[in-house]
């Protein structure tokens, strides 16, 4: 029972052996015994280093969009790019664009900020969905 409650301290003799084995310089300090790192922290750091953090966040937003905004809105709007904290939301038609701009913006912003934090999404901008726009007719 005493063994489980005992804290691990760096073993000076073991550190000397590892220093010799790995040919570390003498000025290299012994580890402080901070414990193992959490895998989530390591993964987040790796994603930042390779520049994929934004892509992972975008995929999370797309995957959770339906649950965040509800069925009716999810059928008529989709998340777009985020620039300087402003999320572009593409809406399928003018009536829904007007409805969301006037009455749904604050509720959507609060849900998104509640899930992803105030620092990531500061505002929402509604735009006509460019993928659904029909080509102009020529006479």
Q: For position 78, which CATH number holds? A: 3.30.300
Question: Does some domain include residue 117?
Answer: yes
Question: Does some domain include residue 78?
Answer: yes
Number of domains in the chain: 1
Question: Does some domain include residue 33?
Answer: no
pTM of the model: 0.61
Tokens representing 85? Answer: 């904290």
Confidence of residue 135 (pLDDT cuts 50, 70, 90): low
Beta partners for residue 88, in sequence order: 125
The β-bridge relationship of strands 123-128 and 86-91 is parallel
Mean pLDDT, range 38-51, rounded to an integer: 76
Name the DSSP class of 100. I
Question: Does some domain include residue 120?
Answer: yes
Q: For 23-55, give one letter per residue: b (16+ CB within 10 A) or e.
A: eeeeeeeeeeeeeeeeeeeeeeeeeeeeeeeee
Question: Does some domain include residue 86?
Answer: yes
Mean pLDDT of the chain: 81
- Domain span including residue 123: 70-139
Question: Does some domain include residue 114?
Answer: yes
Which pLDDT value is given to residue 134? Answer: 60
Question: Does some domain include residue 12?
Answer: no
The more confident residue out of 102 and 51 is 102
Question: Does some domain include residue 52?
Answer: no
Model confidence at 21: pLDDT above 90: no
Model confidence at 6: pLDDT above 70: no
Model confidence at 73: pLDDT above 90: yes
Which pLDDT value is given to residue 8? Answer: 54
**Rounded percentage of the chain residues whose pLDDT exceeds 70:** 82
Query: Could you give the dihedral angle defined by the CA atoms of residues 118, 122, 123 and 124, in that order, rounded to the nearest 10 degrees?
Result: -60
Query: Could you give the dihedral angle defined by the CA atoms of residues 96, 98, 104 and 110, in that order, rounded to the nearest 10 degrees?
Result: 110
């Amino acid at each position: 029972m005493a063994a489980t409650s005992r804290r691990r301290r760096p073993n000076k003799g073991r550190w000397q052996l590892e220093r010799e084995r790995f040919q570390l310089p003498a000025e290299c300090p012994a580890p402080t015994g901070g414990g193992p790192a959490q895998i989530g922290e390591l993964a987040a750091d790796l994603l930042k280093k390779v520049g994929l953090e934004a892509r992972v966040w975008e995929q999370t937003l797309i995957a959770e969009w339906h649950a965040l905004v509800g069925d009716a809105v999810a059928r008529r709007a989709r998340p777009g790019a985020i620039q300087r904290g402003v999320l572009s939301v593409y809406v399928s038609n003018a009536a829904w664009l007007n409805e969301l701009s006037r009455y749904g913006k604050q509720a959507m912003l609060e849900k998104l900020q509640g899930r992803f934090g105030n620092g990531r999404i500061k505002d929402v901008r509604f735009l006509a969905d460019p993928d659904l726009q029909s080509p102009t007719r020529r006479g």
